[in-house]
Chain A
Amino acid sequence: MRHSSPFKEALRTFRRSPLLSALSIASIGFSLFTIGLFGLVALNFRATLQGIAERVEVVAFVLRGTPTEAVTTASQDIQAFPEVQEVRYVSEEEALSRAREELVEFKEAYRDLETNPLPASLEIQLRPDFRDAASAQRVAERVRAFGFVDDVRYGRDWVERLDRLRNMAAVVGLVIGLAFAIVAIVIIGVTIRITVLQRAGEIAIMRLVGATNRYIRGPFLLEGGLKGVLGGILATAMCWVTFAIFRTTSGEVGSGLVFFEPEHLFLMVVFGTCIGLLGSLLSVGRHLRHV
């Protein structure tokens, strides 16, 4: 005689209704896949923004004739600001040679100069957490207080624009991500509920012969968890395939794209499992109260 255990019971459901089981795994998979796709877009958008934010820096132009020692001492002070990651001194000569390299159109003009018109400067790079308009302005003002500083620039307009973009991305990301997650949970909940309704008769018989709610719940929970794991694996596979196809077909843009870290993928499977478990728990629980 075959004895039943919650695990065997869960597997029995897969065997008895393979189509419904496949459908629920697919629905969990596709729901997580949409979240995953959105996550990929968000991940890459964030990476791009980070790349742009690295260019947020404060440049202090030094008055002509300032002794190098004074600038060096000051740059050590500036280096000690909490917002500052690195201070680089760019001498007048270096500024000129850079200009010659970068501004090819004026190459001729710069070659014939008798005196160097470009001032020396301090290029102040900010720490990742401080690459925003407010911090840049704060640093600029403190640097401006040094006597040898002629002018301070930090590209105020575009840093402010970057700030706005970042805030907007965070809000839109949160709203859309949450909406996707809710839709996924609803779809998965409905799918599991269909399974429970399909087995309503069986649950009624279990209760009739004196099964406790815990005993009845066991196989459903296992089944939901198992479907969640499989759905999660399906979703990560679909994300990877979509990413690979996009990367190979989109040329140069594609080569800079980043994919999830292994721990993100693991998290997706864990999330799938949790949704599967929660969906089963809620739908079986509701059913048990009503039978």
Chain B
Amino acid sequence: MIRFQSVSKTYPNGVQGLQDVSFHIPKGQFVFLTGHSGAGKSSILSLIIGEQKPSAGEVRVSGFPIGKLAPNDVPRLRRKLGIVFQDFRLLEYRTVEENIAFALEVTGAPRKAIPGRVIRVLTQVGLAGKARVYPKELSGGEQQRVAIARALVNDPPILIADEPTGNLDERATRGIFQLLQQINGGGTVVVMATHNMTLVRGTGYRVIELKGGRVVYDEANEPGATPA
């Protein structure tokens, strides 16, 4: 599903984002990307979603070679991904259901099918009763659930979550994590960047730890070892 092969990323200002990073995430896996700020988590995610191109090496996501991605391919790649951010990124002048429907509309989904799919995904994230509410009227955890619903509505094979619990309290964090686990249970690859190590420990999921743009720990390569 996602393959990084000797990937380096140097930004125009000379900052080295990634150095010789390699890993492979197969179908159905749940992976934590951990590390301090500036360790390279965001660089990896921005390469996966086609926001950046690698300076060296090869990145393949769902069959798309990111290094050779034409501008027209970016929307096609994004439709294979569900993306969730720490700051939710909802359109605040649209209701919950409109925010989700929007993700279907831009892909040209048939109009008649939209309401049914929106309700289904809202039920999945536990917000069926809040369809007509505006994001500002919701708690942080609920807003993140809306963002996840929007990410899921196109049934993407991969869900990318960049610090999805960063702005949430302990309880909401647990709720969101459980939701992501459920989604992964349905066969979707989940890649979650986080620096919340208490959340990571004991889950049994694969952990890729980054430091200074390099992979310093990858459970897939070192079974039985524990992250730092």
Contacts and interface: CB of A to CB of B under 8 A. Distances in A.
B106 A211 contact: yes
Interface stretch (A98-106, A202-210, A222-230): A202-210
A1 B72 CA distance: 30
B78 interface: yes
A111 interface: no
A49 B63 CA distance: 72
Interface residues of B, number: 28
Contacts of B101: 1, 3
Contacts of B106: 206, 209-212, 215
A210 B75 contact: yes
Given A2-B98, A3-B111, A210 B93 contact: no
B118 interface: yes
Contacts, number: 56
Contacts of A202: 91
Contacts of A16: 93
Contact of A4 (B49, B74, B83, B105): B105
Contacts of B105: 3-4
A212 B98 contact: no
B107 interface: yes
B147 to A, nearest CB: 10
Q: Give the size range of A's interface with the partner.
A: 10 to 19
B98 A213 contact: no
Contact of B89 (A3, A201, A210, A211): A201
Nearest to B72: A212
A113 B105 CA distance: 98
10 A-B pairs closest in CB distance: A210-B78, A211-B106, A210-B79, A209-B103, A212-B75, A210-B75, A205-B89, A1-B115, A208-B83, A215-B106
Interface of A: 1-4, 12, 16, 201-202, 204-213, 215
Interface of B: 49, 71-72, 74-79, 83, 89-91, 93, 97-98, 101-103, 105-107, 111, 114-115, 118, 150, 154
29 contacts: A1-B98, A1-B115, A1-B118, A3-B101, A3-B114, A4-B98, A4-B105, A12-B93, A16-B93, A204-B89, A205-B89, A205-B91, A206-B106, A207-B75, A207-B78, A209-B78, A209-B83, A209-B103, A209-B106, A209-B150, A209-B154, A210-B78, A210-B154, A211-B75, A211-B106, A212-B75, A212-B106, A213-B71, A215-B106
